[in-house]
């Protein structure tokens, strides 16, 4: 059963048994004190083992007083005068501890050795472009192949079309007329942020550096939408994706332990961000 999204005390919250967590995507006008406690009680009733809250720093104090911890933070504006906090509350001690901490550190060590590098140019017959509603059947097919399960319904054509229309910039690399790789920027102009996410390259096209090309392509379009702080929540076990962001000048901000269900298992995630020039 897919996780669902509902409004709790005016906050937009995703939750379900796939990730076994509550995820506050937007606090809205909810009272932080009431919301922090409500999420704990609801999570206990449902048997969830983690609460993950992405909220403004000005709302963090009541959460921290209720036992939540800060796992990462990113600027909410290009001048870094305000921040978004990524808070966690664990209802199960086992979930608080990653299974493979040494390997996760090895991935970060690899990233620390990287310096900024530009993407490789695309070969003749290969282009990068913004996706349109007509592309959604092909997009859904690629996402189904790359991600058997995912925290959001990117396999669903209607979901892709609705989010494309509202706030998500989907981009793809097309080789000989067919999509070979995808990525998206989930845009939040009200606080100048965009989550760079949904990176997927078909197996037969991997090794060409397409993720780096897509990342740069999306970054170039964000300022036109009033966005100057792109960030990502990348699988902590994936050297490739973490290196992609480190090589593009992103800064590591923290690790979300056992946070997200992807392809059948709950994984830890690394948070990276970058401040674009105005």
| 236-253 residue pLDDT tens | 999 999 999 999 999 999
The rounded distance, in Å, linking the Cα atoms of 244 and 242 is: 5
| Residue spans of beta strands (DSSP E) within 59-135 | 69-75, 83-90, 126-130
The whole-number pLDDT of residue 278 equals: 79
State the CB neighbour count (10 A cutoff) for residue 131.
21
The whole-number pLDDT of residue 226 equals: 94
Reduced to 3 states (helix: H, G, I; strand: E, B; else coil), residue 131 is: coil
Reduced to 3 states (helix: H, G, I; strand: E, B; else coil), residue 239 is: helix
The whole-number pLDDT of residue 144 equals: 94
The whole-number pLDDT of residue 113 equals: 87
- Nearest alpha carbon to residue 15 among 109, 91, 128: 91
| Low-confidence spans in the chain with pLDDT less than 70 | 1
The whole-number pLDDT of residue 116 equals: 82
Q: Are 43 and 51 in contact (CB under 8 A)?
A: yes
- Nearest alpha carbon to residue 235 among 84, 108, 102: 108
- Nearest alpha carbon to residue 53 among 106, 78, 90, 81: 90
| Angle between helical axes of 157-166 and 136-146 (0-180°, round to 10) | 110
The whole-number pLDDT of residue 163 equals: 97
Q: Do the two domains 4-96 and 101-273 of this chain adopt the same fold?
A: yes
State the CB neighbour count (10 A cutoff) for residue 161.
16
CATH superfamily of 4-96: Gcn5-related N-acetyltransferase (GNAT) (3.40.630.30)
- Nearest alpha carbon to residue 235 among 202, 257, 205: 257
In the chain, where the domains are located: 4-96, 101-273
101-273: CATH number: 3.40.630.30
Q: Are 184 and 238 in contact (CB under 8 A)?
A: no
The whole-number pLDDT of residue 1 equals: 56
The whole-number pLDDT of residue 178 equals: 96
Q: Is 121 exposed, middle or buried (0-12, 13-18, 19+ CB in 10 A)?
A: exposed
The whole-number pLDDT of residue 114 equals: 84
Residue 275 backbone phi and psi in degrees, to 5: -110, 120
Per DSSP bridges, beta strands 21-26 and 50-56 are parallel
- Whole-angstrom distance between the N-terminal and C-terminal Cα of the chain? 43
């Amino acid at each position: 059963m897919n996780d669902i999204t509902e409004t709790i005390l005016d906050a937009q919250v995703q939750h379900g048994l796939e990730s076994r967590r509550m995820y506050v995507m937007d606090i809205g006008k909810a009272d932080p004190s009431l919301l922090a406690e409500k999420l704990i009680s609801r999570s206990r009733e449902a048997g969830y083992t983690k609460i993950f809250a992405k909220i403004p720093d000005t709302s963090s104090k009541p959460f921290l007083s209720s036992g939540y911890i800060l796992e990462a933070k990113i600027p909410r504006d290009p001048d870094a005068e305000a921040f978004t906090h990524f808070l966690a509350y664990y209802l199960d001690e086992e979930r608080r501890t990653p299974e493979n901490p040494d390997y996760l550190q090895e991935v970060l060590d690899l990233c620390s050795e990287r310096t900024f590098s530009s993407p490789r140019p695309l070969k003749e017959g290969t282009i990068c472009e913004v996706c349109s509603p007509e592309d959604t059947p092909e997009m859904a097919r690629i996402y189904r192949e790359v991600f058997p399960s995912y925290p959001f319904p990117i396999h669903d054509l209607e979901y892709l079309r609705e989010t494309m229309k509202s706030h998500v910039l989907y981009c793809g690399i097309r080789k000989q007329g067919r999509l070979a790789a995808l990525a998206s920027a989930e845009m939040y102009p009200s606080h100048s942020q965009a989550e760079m996410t949904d990176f997927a390259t078909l197996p037969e096209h991997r090794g060409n550096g397409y993720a780096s090309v897509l990342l740069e392509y999306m970054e170039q379009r964000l300022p036109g939408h009033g966005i100057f702080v792109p960030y990502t929540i990348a699988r902590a076990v994936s050297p490739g994706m973490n290196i992609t962001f480190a090589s593009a000048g992103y800064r590591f901000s923290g690790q979300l332990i056992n946070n997200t269900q992807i392809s059948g298992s709950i994984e830890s995630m690394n948070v990276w961000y970058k401040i674009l020039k105005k």
